[in-house]
Amino acid sequence: MPGTGTTIRSLLHRPDFRRLLGTRLLSQFGDGVFHASLAGTVLFNPQRAADPVDVAAGFAVLLLPYSLVGPFAGVWLDRWSRRQVLVHANLLRAALVAVVAGLVLVGVDGTPFYVAGLAVFSVNRFLLAGLSAGLPHTVDPPSLVSANAVSTTSGAVVTVVGAGAALGLLQLVGPGDGGYAGLTLAAALPYVAAAAVAAAFSRPSLGPDHLTRSARLSAREVLVGLVAGARHVAAHRPAWAALTAITLHRLGYGVLTLMTLLLYRNTFASDGFFRGGLVGLGQVVAAGGIGTLLAAVVTPRAVRRMGTRRWIVLLLAGGGAGQAALGLLFVPAGIVAAGCVLGFMSQGVKICVDSTLQESVADDYRGRVFSFYDTLFNVSFVVGLLTAAFVLPASGVSYPALASVGLGYLLTALAYTRLSGA
């Protein structure tokens, strides 16, 4: 059993944790490149155009179909070797990304484009659930908060770095279908590297504890497994309270995401340091990355001082007030600052929710629970996006909508307080 040290140095002394972290970082760097290329293709490519409803519908097509079957897929994460999942899922993503790149190059859009993108996102969500389910096998329980702070935060940061690298590469290849196709294809390289790193694990090292040799399951067995996972969560108050909090948080996050996209596409112009368009949007993403890093530093210490539940309440309440205060200015500087606050709040809450689930859920149920968590995470985000698509003007400027999001976060903090007993 590893020691109980919770510093970054002590975590990095553990070979299995380093290897799992390396798999995550390479994989999520590729995600950053792929997401930037996709966003550029749909939102900022001069050869294409999309209105707010089209943008929200695109997110829905890419995220919802897998999210609806994700909990069922999670049954396999509790039967298959999670090491095998990490290896094969990354290789599959690399192949699918090449298909998407080909579609972008020849100017294909509509159903074929979204189906190919959906395939990449679906494999990605399955892989991330596998990473989270396998993490407790690389550290001891007292180190989980710190391990999640390091792994999920560094993963989020390298996603931002990957997006930044894609933006830099775009300056060389130029906009248009050819340039964005090249960016998309570039994401395949880190996916292949992630598969190579994950292959160094032994087959049973990431669980599940009771590995089933046969992967064949009847539809009834899948459904029974799903129901058993739901009952397991329902029996653990900290788990379902945490899932409720992050689901409500993601509703507001979806509204803020579409608002920001519209502001930078249709309203903000470059003015000195603060830019408009895709580069300006990159500044918001970078600010969110800074907030994410700060959350990684502050959250483990805050949890030790006040506990996970109280820290989640403080994050939601403070984050809601910060979004309203900074965002209501509707100027680039305010939106960038609000992005930093949102990154801090989002990552702090996610670290705590991940750790709560890993601590309170038995290993034989973690695959199902984290897949269900992933479903809630994405469905609530898309619901927020779709709601925003019908209430936001094309400019993205809406004082009532932003005030409602701020109030929603405050109400979420109160709801979580009651549900969790914080």
277: tokens are 């368009």
Measure CA 289 to chain center: 13
Q: Please state, for a pLDDT cut of 90, what percent of the chain lies above it.
A: 51
What is the mean pLDDT of the segment spanning 147-172?
88
Per-residue pLDDT reduced to its tens digit, 210-252: 665 555 556 676 677 777 777 888 888 899 999 999 999 999 9
Residue 1 belongs to a domain = no
User: Could you tell me which residue, 333 or 364, shows the higher pLDDT?
Assistant: 333
Domain count of the fold of the chain: 2
Q: How much is the pLDDT for 5? A: 41
> Which of 173, 202, 231 is where one domain is finished?
231
Return d(Cα 104, Cα 53) in angstroms, integer. 21
**Is the model's pLDDT at 312 over the cut of 50?**
yes
Contact 355, 13 (CB under 8 A): no
Q: Is residue 156 part of a domain?
A: yes
- d(C-alpha 333, C-alpha 190), whole Å: 33
Residue 370 lies in a domain: no
- Domain presence at residue 385: no
Spatial distance between the Cα atoms of 355 and 299, rounded to a whole number of angstroms: 11
Q: What is the mean pLDDT of the chain?
A: 87
Distance in angstroms (rounded) separating the CA atoms of residues 121 and 128:
10
Query: Would residue 409 count as lying in a domain?
Result: yes
> Tokens representing 215?
């992967």
pLDDT at 3: 37
What is the Cα Rg of the chain in Å?
20
pTM confidence score: 0.77
pLDDT at 6: 60
Lowest mean per-residue pLDDT among 37-51, 261-275, 361-375, 386-400? 37-51
Among residues 316, 303, 320, 319, the alpha carbon closest in space to that of 356 is found at 303
Look at residue 387 and tell me if it is in a domain. Answer: no
What is the predicted pLDDT for the residue at 122?
A: 84
Q: Which residues pair with 271 in a beta bridge?
A: 274
pLDDT at 342: 96
SS (H, E, C) 197-263: HHCCCCCCCCCCCCCCCCCCCCHHHHHHHHHHHHHHHHCCHHHHHHHHHHHHHHHHHHHHHHHHHHH
CATH code at position 156? 1.20.1250.20
Provide the CATH number for the domain around residue 255.
Answer: 1.20.1250
Instruction: Give me 281's structure tokens.
Output: 């949007």
Q: Tens of pLDDT along 346-367?
A: 999 999 999 999 988 888 888 8
Asked if pLDDT for residue 263 goes beyond 70, the answer is: yes
Q: Which domain holds residue 350?
A: 237-360+392-422
**Nearest in space to 244 (alpha carbons), one of 330, 356, 150:** 356
Question: What span, in angstroms and rounded, lies between the C-alpha atoms of 314 and 284?
Answer: 23
Number of H helices, E strands in the chain: 15, 0
Which pLDDT belongs to residue 215?
52
Each residue of 357-403: pLDDT tens digit? 998 888 888 887 887 888 888 889 999 999 999 999 989 999 999 99
Greatest CA separation found in the chain? 61
Task: Report the pLDDT value the prediction gives residue 118, as an integer from 0 to 100.
Answer: 83
- Give per-residue pLDDT as tens, 291-303: 999 999 999 999 9
Residue 68: CB atoms within 10 A of its CB come to 12
Query: Are 131 and 44 members of one domain?
Result: yes
Does 148 have pLDDT greater than 80? yes
Do 82 and 205 belong to one domain?
yes
Q: Distance between CA 123 and CA 194 in Å, rounded?
A: 14
Mind spelling out the 3-state secondary structure of 23-40?
Answer: HHHHHHHHHHHHHHHHHH
- Helix%, strand%, coil% for the chain, nearest 5: 80, 0, 20
State pLDDT tens for residues 161-214.
998 898 888 888 777 778 888 989 999 999 999 999 999 999 889 988 766 555
- pLDDT at res. 211: 62
Other CB atoms closer than 10 Å to residue 319's CB: what's the count? 27
Residue 110, Ramachandran bin (φ over 0: left; ψ between -120 and 50: alpha; else beta): left
Residues 303 and 418 in one domain: yes
- Structural domain includes residue 293: yes
Domain boundary (199, 231, 263) is at 231
Question: Do 226 and 251 lie in a common domain?
Answer: no
User: In this structure, are 34 and 88 located in the same domain?
Assistant: yes
Model confidence at 75: pLDDT above 80: no
* Whether residues 84 and 203 fall in one domain: yes
Under DSSP, the state recorded for 47 is T
Task: Tally Cβ neighbours within 10 Å of residue 118.
Answer: 17
Q: Which two tokens stand for residue 69?
A: 């079957």
Report pLDDT for 350. 94
Whether 222 and 254 map to the same domain: the answer is no
What lies within 8 Å, CB to CB, of 115 at 6+ separation is none
Query: 184 with 253, same domain?
Result: no
Residue 90 pLDDT > 60: yes
pLDDT at 50: 60
Kindly state whether residues 222 and 270 are assigned to the same domain: no
Give the residue from 231, 264, 293 where a domain finishes: 231
Per-residue confidence band for 86, with pLDDT thresholds at 50, 70 and 90 = very high
Clarify whether residues 70 and 176 are in a common domain: yes
338 burial level (CB within 10 Å; 0-12, 13-18, 19+): buried
Q: Are residues 49 and 196 in the same domain?
A: yes
225 shares its domain with 262? no
Residue 303, domain member (yes or no): yes
**Residue appearing with tokens 């972008």:** 104
CB atoms within 10 A of CB 5: 16
pLDDT above 80 (res 307)? yes
